[in-house]
Amino acid sequence: ALSKSANIDKPAKYSVPTLCEMCVNKCALIADVQDGIVKKLNPNPLFPKSRSMLCARGAAGIHALYDPDRLKTPLIRVGERGDGKYKEATWDEAFEYIKTKLVKIVDEEKDNRSCIGYCAGEGMAEHTFKSFMANKFGSTNFLNHATLCLQTTIAGYSTTIGGYGQADLENAKYIIMAGANRAEAIVTPDTMDIFKRTRGRGAKLITVDPRYTNTAMHADLHVPIKPGTDLAFVLALTYVVISKELYNKEYVKNNFNDFDKYQKHILESEYKPEWAEQITGVPAGTIRTIAHDFMAAAPQAVYYQGRRSTWTKNDFQLRRAMALFSALGGGVDVKGGIVFGSKLPLAAHEINTPLYFNAEPRIEGDAAAIIGSSGSWVEWRNMVEADKAPYPIRGMFVYKQNPMLSVPDTARTRKVFEKMDLVVVIDTMPSDTALMADVILPECSYLEREDPIRSFAGIEPAIGLRQKVIEPMYDSKPVIEIMRGLSAKLSKPLWEITKKHDEDVQDELEGEDELAYYQENGFDLTEPYLHSQEELNKHAFVEKYGEEAWKTIRKTGVYYPGMEASFKKINNNSYQYYPEDKKVYSVLPVEEKTDASPADIAPWKRTFNTPSKKIECYLGNFAKKGIDPMPTWRQEQHVDVPAGKFKFITGRHALQTQNSTQNNVMLLELMRENFAWINDAEARKLGIEHGDTIEIESSVGAVQIKAYPTPKIVPETIFYVHGFGAKSDGLTFAYRNGASDNEIIEAGSEPVYGSAIMHETLVTVKKV
Partner 1 sequence: MMNYAMALDYQNCINCRACEVACKEENGVQLGADKQRIWVGIVEGSSNGKPFVNLYPSQCNHCIDAPCVSVCPTNASHYIKGGIVKVEPDKCILCKACMESCPYDARFIDDTKVSVDKCTFCEHQIEETGTTACQATCPTKVRTFGDLDDPGSDIVKLLKTRKFFFQKEEIGTLPKLFYLVPEDETYAQQSIGPNTKIHTWEEIQPLYERAAITRSQSWKQ
- Is 635 an interacting residue with respect to partner 1 (CB under 8 A)? no
282: left (phi over 0), alpha (psi -120 to 50) or beta: beta
Handedness of CA 36, 40, 44, 50 (dihedral sign): positive
Contact call for residues 750 and 310 (beta carbons, < 8 A): yes
Shortest Cβ 571–partner 1 spacing (Å) = 5
Sign, CA dihedral 555-559-565-571, equals negative
Measured from the CB of residue 671, what is the shortest distance to partner 1 in angstroms? 9
Least separation in angstroms between residue 660's CB and partner 1 is 16
Angle between helix 230-243 and helix 273-280 axes, rounded to 10 deg: 170
DSSP letter, residue 754: -
Candidates 93-101, 182-190, 288-296, 427-435; binding stretch for partner 1 (CB under 8 A) = 182-190
Picking from 488, 380, 411, the residue whose alpha carbon sits closest to that of residue 119 is: 380
- 198-206, 227-235, 279-287, 739-747 -> range binding partner 1 (CB under 8 A): 198-206
Judged by CB under 8 A, which stretch of 40-48, 144-152, 240-248, 505-513 contacts partner 1? 40-48
Taking CB under 8 A as the rule, does residue 347 contact partner 1? no
Q: How far is the CB of 281 from partner 1 (least distance, A)?
A: 14
Nearest distance, CB of residue 8 and partner 1, angstroms: 25
DSSP code string of 379-439: HHHHHHHTT-SSS---EEEEES--HHHHSS-HHHHHHHHHH-SEEEEEESS--TTGGG-SE
DSSP reduced 3-state for 505 = helix
Q: Where is 538: in which H helix or E strand?
A: helix 533-556
User: Is 173 among the residues that bind partner 1 (CB under 8 A)?
Assistant: no
Q: Does 212 bind partner 1 (CB under 8 A)?
A: yes
62 part of the interface to partner 1, by CB under 8 A: yes
Query: Of 43, 48, 210, 408, which lies in the binding site for partner 1, with binding defined by CB under 8 A?
Result: 43
Rounded distance between C-alpha atoms, residue 729 and residue 435, angstroms: 9
Question: Quick one: 296 or 665, whose CB is closer to partner 1?
Answer: 665
- Chain residues 663-692 in contact with partner 1, contact rule CB under 8 A: 665-667, 669-670, 672
Min CB(217)–partner 1 separation in Å: 4
Q: Binding to partner 1 by residue 196, rule CB under 8 A?
A: yes
Count of residues interacting with partner 1 (CB under 8 A)? 47
Residue 12 burial by Cβ neighbours in a 10 Å radius (0-12, 13-18, 19+): exposed
Residue 74's CB is within 10 A of a number of other CB atoms, namely 25
Which range in 47-55, 307-315, 597-605, 722-730 contacts partner 1 by CB under 8 A? Answer: 47-55
Say if residues 449 and 19 touch (Cβ distance below 8 Å). Answer: no
Q: Segment near partner 1 (CB under 8 A), from 41-49, 586-594, 597-605, 638-646?
A: 41-49
Minimum gap (Å) between residue 189 Cβ and partner 1: 9
With binding defined as CB under 8 A, does residue 217 bind partner 1?
Answer: yes
Asked if 192 is part of the footprint of partner 1 (rule: CB under 8 A), the reply reads: yes
N-term to C-term CA, the chain: 47
Residue 121 touches partner 1, criterion: CB under 8 A: no
Are 526 and 480 a contacting pair, CB within 8 Å?
A: no
For partner 1, which residue of 184, 471, 475, 695 counts as binding (CB under 8 A)?
Answer: 184
CB–CB of 338/165 below 8 Å? yes
Shortest CB 728 distance to partner 1, Å = 22
SS (H, E, C) 248-281: CHHHHHHHEECHHHHHHHHHHCCCCHHHHHHHHC
* CA–CA distance, 445 with 440 (Å, rounded to integer): 15
195 binds partner 1 (CB under 8 A): yes
Min dist. Cβ of residue 334 to partner 1 (A)? 25
Nearest to 606 by CA among 584, 583, 586, 585: 586
Q: Is 209 or 364 the residue whose CB approaches partner 1 more closely?
A: 209
- 226 lines the binding site for partner 1 (CB under 8 A): no
- If one asks whether residue 191 binds partner 1 (CB under 8 A), the answer comes out as yes
Residue ranges in contact with partner 1 by CB under 8 A: 40-43, 52-60, 62, 183-184, 186, 188, 191-192, 195-196, 198-201, 212, 214-215, 217-218, 222, 571-574, 654-655, 665-667, 669-670, 672, 710-712
